[in-house]
Amino acid sequence: MPVPLDTTGKASFDDIYDRPDPRDYYARMSELDYRIPELAKPFFEQQIREYRASARVATPTVLDIGCSYGVNAALLRFDTGIDELTEHYRTAAEVDRAQLVARDRDRLAGCEHHSDVRFVGVDVSGPALDYAHAAGFLHDIVHADLESADPTDEQCEVLAAADIVLSTGCIGYVTEKTLLRIATAHPRRRPWMAHFVLRMFDFDPMAEELAALGYRTEQASGLFAQRRFASADEQQRVLNTLSDKGIDTTGREADGWLYAQLYLSRPGPKGQA
């Protein structure tokens, strides 16, 4: 069955975000060797360490934009890799959702890392958020499309608690509109940010908007494989986009993988926590 493409030219996986639990999500992503959350994990851990040391906050709050089923939180809190997490759900094919939730909560209670960090998720998918919250991966959730509307007062209160904002695949679908609504949720304090951004998307407009709020943005060295292309059509569309931007894809996207860059944004002294 052909993989549908969205307006950006990337494969659309909307159908796996409306499931009541993440089993189909992990099965589909495994077929494409999805790996960016695992590659991002040590960088996110570093951000947590540095924020705690800099701001002297004992229990920082990490907010994940486009968190889906709480993938980044699960990797960090289970201290595991994406393949192990995929296998964890593959072996639960016969249980119902309630049993799967209980299974995840039991595992979390028995081996949790980062128990001194609060995890919050933002997503447009209600079912994915509900599972991540029920399973205990996320301490709080915001079900909202921050591209199209301001957060409610209740949602703003949750967003305002964020110390570190991260993402591993939503930039390009969300823009500076979402980032600014999150960055300004607290009237006096700005969160740190760490975003893995596919090379087909331009982060500069977002960095410029953040700079107006007092942020300094740096691009980390290196490129990070996200996943294999879902189809030849997707690859060609992405290659065309990158070619138009003058980006050399030799040995990278030309060889069948999507690649991302890491952008780190931190507020200046007036916006520090």
What backbone phi and psi angles, to 5 degrees, belong to 83? Answer: -65, -40
Residue 19: its pLDDT value, please? 96
Instruction: For residue range 110-143, list pLDDT tens digits in order.
Output: 887 999 999 999 999 999 999 999 999 999 999 9
Q: Which residues does residue 119 pair with via DSSP β-bridges, in sequence order?
A: 62
> Helix 176-183 and helix 204-211: axis angle, to 10°?
30
The pLDDT value given to residue 271:
43
Q: What is the CA radius of gyration of the chain?
A: 18
Helix ranges, the chain (H): 23-31, 36-55, 71-78, 82-90, 97-111, 126-134, 153-160, 176-183, 204-211, 232-244
Residue whose C-alpha is closest to residue 7's, from 258, 180, 243, 200: 200
- The tens digit of pLDDT for each residue in 227-255 reads 999 999 999 999 999 999 999 999 999 99
Are 116 and 59 in contact by the 8 Å Cβ rule? The answer is yes
pLDDT of 7 reads 87
Could you tell me whether strands 140-143 and 118-123 are parallel, antiparallel, or unpaired per DSSP bridges? parallel
Is pLDDT above 70 for 2?
A: no
Contacts of 184 (CB under 8 A, 6+ apart): 190, 213
Q: What is the pLDDT of residues 146-162, one digit of tens each?
A: 999 999 999 999 999 99
Polymer length of the chain: 273
d(CA 196, CA 36): 8
Contact indicator for 140, 158 with CB cutoff of 8 Å:
yes
For residues 67-79, average pLDDT: 97
Q: Which of 28-32, 107-111, 197-201 has the lowest mean pLDDT?
A: 107-111
* Per-residue pLDDT, 273: 41
Q: For residue 270, is pLDDT > 60? A: no
Q: What is the mean pLDDT of residues 35-45?
A: 98
Q: What b/e sequence results for 42-60 when a residue is b if at least 16 CB atoms lie within 10 Å of its CB, and e otherwise?
A: ebbeebbeebbeeeebeeb
- The Cα–Cα gap between 235 and 253 comes to 7
Paired tokens of 161: 């608690």
